[in-house]
Amino acid sequence: MQYLWDFQYFFFTLLFELLSSQYATKTWLSSNFSSLQLLGLFEDVSNSSNSTNFAVHSLAMFKAAILLSHQYNITVDGEYIGWQTVQTKGNVIDSLSSSCLAVSTEKIIGIVGPIYSREAHIIAAFANRIGIPVISFSATDPDLTDRNTYPAFFRTVPPDDIAALSIAQLFIQFNWTSCIIIYQNDNFGTNGAKALAQVFNDYGFQVRQTLVFDIAKLHIQGDLQASLTGSTSRIVILWAQSTYASLILQFALNLDLLGPQFTWILSSEVPLNSFNQTFLRNLIGMLTIEPTVGDVLDKPINTTLLDAAYRIWAQYEPASFPGSAKVNNYALFAFDATWSLIQSLQNLCPTNIKNASSCMSFITSSFCYDNRFLNANSLFNQIIGTRFLGVSGAIQFSANVTNRIAGAYYLARNIQASFNTFNYIPVLQWSDDESWKAVKGLNAIVWPGNLLVPPRDYPTLSNVTLRIGVVVLLPFTMISSNTDENGQTGVKLIGYAPDLINLLQNKMGFIPNIIVAPPNQTYDGLVDAVANGVYDMVVADVTVTSARREKAAFSTSIFDNALRIIMRSKTVTRTNLLSFLKPFSFDLWMMLLAAITFAAFLFCLLERFDNQILHNRSLVSSVTMSWWYSIGTIMGYGADFQVVTAAGRLLTVGLYLLSLVLVATYTANLASELTITKSEFVISGIEDIKNRKIPFNRIGIRVGTAAENYFLQEISAGIRSFYPLSSQQEMYNALLNNSIDASFMDSGTTEYITNNVYCNLTSVGSDFDHSSLAIVIPKGWLYEQDLDVNVLELQEAGVLDELKTKWFETSICANNPSDRTGITFETMSGLFLTFAVICALSIILFIWTKRWNMINYLFKLVGRSSPLSKQGTTVTRCTPEPSRRAENFQQSSNGRMVF
């Protein structure tokens, strides 16, 4: 009867355990068959409903590794290896207490675990004290890497500084430069955030905000909503365990702080069934970055070990085995941690040594801290020297650090919706020997808002209403009448600034509320208005200065600027008819005339009797022809006859030398004289103003502008001695009515005004005080980066240059004196008048020599005999042969002029 009762008790007890437990955990073999045991520290399933797979799978693979060593007949000191397991709740003291109890009651020769980094610090120190190794499969705190501090500690999972490196390279891939970090306040969270900040600093990225989640109070320290919405970054990195990450995400969902406003990157997967279905759509686009195993990246793994372990798991605990494709990656890290200890213990106590009792020598005590494994250093060295291909990849440890060498792989998964279900979809993979790349299958990343375009890492102005201040100033902003299709007349703003606002609106999607600033508003006042919240931005010709930067911020430059001097155009009040003679002095001209006359008489003397041209002429005619020859030779054009004597040729050489020097000198001096005549302004540039060539009170300066700052700092040493102006129109009026002689104005505006509006004004000298015009925005504005990026894109695409050409490079002042570059007619009028006089004299001379022929022709027209004919008849009758005078007249009437 007792046996029957015992059997019934055992049956009902077994049935109760099978029905009350989620998994058939009691099907595993008992661990009491061996005195040498490995201690496994795993997460308490009842305390981790959000990570059941992680806890159950890790524990199953730990046991499967030990049972597989039995199948491979691996023994240590003649015994198979057994196990002890402790399920912790993350409490450090509880974990230490459980470990201490296990060491006091059993021969623990190694520890697999613990789960949490905060536990690993204390367990690693405890294990080092008693001389046994600890290999963790999930503790990722970078501080645990130091071999000198933790000589007994090893781990098969990559540390968080490697994860931080992979995230930084993800930022590079998507052109992100800033982030917000939320982390839990323990070793895992604090040191993970520290590793992220360090790596981001190395890459030049910025951590805009850090928030702490208190794992004791289960609450975020500070105002989550204000911190995120007030930050200039829109990428949130959540560094927390799955349980805490679920709570933080729920807080964020309640405050509408997920997609599409923010892009979240998680360090651990959270179960999607823990959220209300109405909120799940806001989770679309989130990324998780978690360690993975080699075969995901086509790296080699030990498939023989893996298949054998899966068979054992499916044999002993079929209810919890999910299939090979769904096993948690941390379970494979747990297997490799366990197998590393098994391999090292086997190598420490080889079976071919007959007396191997010394390899497993212990000092035992009821007080756990007094227990010692005497061969600890040898075992540690065996672990460091053990190399094998594990189920997660190559396993090898280092004497310098506690991490495994190589084999660091990460997988990025993306929450996506499909047929009303939400799943984690693998999209990117990373390894320590190559950067991120797409996984097989080319799964596209779906970003928050169901977008396929990577989001910006900063706030954008999409659908944001902006109060934009503008200043009516040609040609930046002008008011134009507009008649719509219904015949209604209204006004609209045109110009460089309205066009720029339209371009930015089309790119960024903001809603503009354009406000025209009062006419008496100064530029310094505009900056103050932005700083005081009157405007969200000002788009106008506002120059960036250091004083203004103290009050407000500025965008990327929208216009390269400089100052120019503007004056009235010069007017010519007198005309010098003999200005072409100015290159030579009067004495030089007289000397030149004397030289020509002397040369003429000398040529007549030298050539008269030998030169046929001069031989038959009168003395006066010969001298005149010689004078003509001298002038032609000096001017370089020559005469219509040649000298024939040697003396004449020598004299000609002298005239050529004289011509060479005089012509070159005249040309150079004439060009210089014309240049000076053209530049008749009182000043030629800003240096003349500094040298007081114009009285300071005759220089008009607009108050509250960059021109005023320049005048006070660079010219007047802070003394307000200029002529104050309140507007640009007042400046134009003051110049035109002669109240001032000069003023300063932006180069672009000067060019437009003098070419299109006031043709009687002109710019003088070159640009000075180079600067830039930019959009005025408040300091610390959330959308500053969005504005800068879009302005820079317009600049790089050449759109701003096109706007500048459209509005500034036009001209309707065709006769603007400042546009004249050639020699004017007025300058050379005296020369042309002289030429006209010479022409008139030539005509008069021609008429005089032909006077008798013209008189005879006129008398023939009227049918009467000319007086010349009658006179000629009388002379013929009285004189038997023609007189000398008649002969000369006949010669002249034949067309030859005789002197």
pLDDT per position as a tens digit, 786-840: 999 999 999 999 999 999 988 888 888 865 444 444 444 455 455 446 546 655 6
Is the pTM here over 0.85, yes or no?
A: no
Confidence (pLDDT) at 299: 92
For all residues of the chain together, what is the average pLDDT?
A: 83
> Do the bridges between strand 387-389 and strand 421-431 make them parallel or antiparallel, or are there none, so unpaired?
unpaired
pLDDT tens readout for residues 14-70: 333 433 344 434 478 766 678 899 999 998 876 554 456 888 999 999 999 999 999
CA dihedral for 601, 607, 612, 616, sign (positive or negative): positive
Q: Which of 154, 141, 155 shows the shortest CA–CA distance to 188?
A: 141
> Do 579-675 and 462-570+681-814 have the same topology in CATH?
no
Which pair of tokens denotes residue 212?
A: 């702490």
**Residues making up the chain, counted from first to last:** 899
Q: For the chain, what percent of residues have pLDDT higher than 70?
A: 83
Confidence (pLDDT) at 817: 46
Lowest mean pLDDT across 346-360, 387-401, 712-726, 758-772: 346-360
Confidence (pLDDT) at 865: 53
10 Å Cβ neighbour count for 811?
13
Q: Are 452 and 284 in contact (CB under 8 A)?
A: no
Q: Which of 284, 289, 288, 286 shows the shortest CA–CA distance to 416?
A: 284
C-alpha 24/C-alpha 321 separation (Å) is 10
Q: What is the mean pLDDT of residues 703-711?
A: 88
C-alpha 22/C-alpha 806 separation (Å) is 76
Residue 429: strand, helix, or coil: strand
Find the helix or strand (DSSP H, E) in which 597 lies.
helix 586-607
Q: What is the mean pLDDT of residues 713-738?
A: 89
Lowest mean pLDDT across 554-568, 801-815, 837-851: 837-851
In order of 357, 385, 567, 636, the CA distances from 629 in angstroms are 135, 114, 52, 11
Q: Angle at CA 340, nearest 5°, toward 338 and 344? A: 120
Q: What is the mean pLDDT of residues 233-258?
A: 94
Confidence (pLDDT) at 823: 43
Which residue type sits at 777? I
Question: pLDDT band for position 893 (50/70/90)?
Answer: very low
CA dihedral for 563, 569, 570, 575, sign (positive or negative): positive
- 429 vs 592, higher pLDDT: 429
Beta strand residue intervals within 635-788, DSSP E: 699-702, 723-725, 742-746, 761-773, 776-777
Helices (H), 769-850: 784-796, 799-808, 829-849
C-alpha 47/C-alpha 90 separation (Å) is 9
Q: Which of 671, 72, 54 shows the shortest CA–CA distance to 312?
A: 72
Listed in sequence order, the residues at least 6 apart from 749 whose beta carbon sits closer than 8 Å to its beta carbon are: 473, 474, 475, 476, 541, 728
Which pair of tokens denotes residue 116?
A: 């949490």
Which pair of tokens denotes residue 364?
A: 């035992």
Confidence (pLDDT) at 851: 77
Confidence (pLDDT) at 622: 77
Q: Are 140 and 241 in contact (CB under 8 A)?
A: no
Query: How is the chain split into domains, by residue range?
Result: 36-157+302-400, 160-296+410-438, 462-570+681-814, 579-675
- 670 vs 385, higher pLDDT: 385
Q: Which of 193, 238, 258, 244 shows the shortest CA–CA distance to 214?
A: 244
Does residue 898 register a pLDDT over 50?
Answer: no
Does residue 81 register a pLDDT over 90?
Answer: yes
Q: Are 83 and 38 in contact (CB under 8 A)?
A: yes
C-alpha 480/C-alpha 472 separation (Å) is 11
Confidence (pLDDT) at 668: 77
Lowest mean pLDDT across 93-102, 226-235, 638-647: 638-647
Exposure string of 164-192, with b = 16+ CB inside 10 Å and e = fewer, is bbbbbbbbeeeebbbbbbbbbbbbbbbbb
Does residue 868 register a pLDDT over 90?
Answer: no
Find the helix or strand (DSSP H, E) in which 671 lies.
helix 646-678
Does residue 558 register a pLDDT over 50?
Answer: yes
Residue 865: strand, helix, or coil: coil
Q: Which of 291, 266, 278 shows the shortest CA–CA distance to 415?
A: 266
Does residue 6 register a pLDDT over 50?
Answer: no
Q: What is the mean pLDDT of residues 685-709?
A: 89
What are phi and psi for residue 707, nearest 5 degrees? -65, -40
Alpha-carbon radius of gyration of the chain: 52
Which pair of tokens denotes residue 117?
A: 């980094």
10 Å Cβ neighbour count for 359?
17
C-alpha 745/C-alpha 245 separation (Å) is 59
Residue 297: strand, helix, or coil: helix
Does residue 350 register a pLDDT over 70?
Answer: yes
C-alpha 215/C-alpha 238 separation (Å) is 14
- CATH code of 36-157+302-400, in short, is 3.40.50.2300
- 5 vs 408, higher pLDDT: 408
Which pair of tokens denotes residue 829?
A: 């009028």
C-alpha 696/C-alpha 84 separation (Å) is 96
Largest CA distance in the chain: 199
Inter-axis angle of helices 496-508 and 784-796, nearest 10: 110
Q: Are 177 and 206 in contact (CB under 8 A)?
A: yes
Question: pLDDT band for position 842 (50/70/90)?
Answer: low
Confidence (pLDDT) at 139: 95
Q: Which of 62, 67, 26 shows the shortest CA–CA distance to 42?
A: 62
- CATH code of 462-570+681-814, in short, is 3.40.190.10
- CATH code of 160-296+410-438, in short, is 3.40.50.2300
Confidence (pLDDT) at 233: 94
Confidence (pLDDT) at 47: 58
C-alpha 726/C-alpha 705 separation (Å) is 10
Which pair of tokens denotes residue 152?
A: 């007994």
Confidence (pLDDT) at 872: 47
Q: What is the mean pLDDT of residues 319-344?
A: 95
* CATH architecture of the domain with range 579-675: Orthogonal Bundle (1.10)
Q: What is the mean pLDDT of residues 141-170?
A: 96
Question: pLDDT band for position 490 (50/70/90)?
Answer: confident
Does residue 593 register a pLDDT over 60?
Answer: yes
Confidence (pLDDT) at 182: 97
Q: What is the mean pLDDT of residues 866-881?
A: 43
Query: Looking at residue 295, what DSSP letter applies?
Result: G
Lowest mean pLDDT across 116-130, 297-311, 437-451, 604-618: 604-618
Confidence (pLDDT) at 22: 40
- 653 vs 188, higher pLDDT: 188
Confidence (pLDDT) at 653: 76
10 Å Cβ neighbour count for 98?
20
Q: For the chain, what percent of residues have pLDDT higher than 90?
A: 51
Listed in sequence order, the residues at least 6 apart from 262 whose beta carbon sits closer than 8 Å to its beta carbon are: 228, 234, 235, 236, 252, 448
Beta strand residue intervals within 16-160, DSSP E: 36-43, 82-88, 107-112, 134-136, 153-155
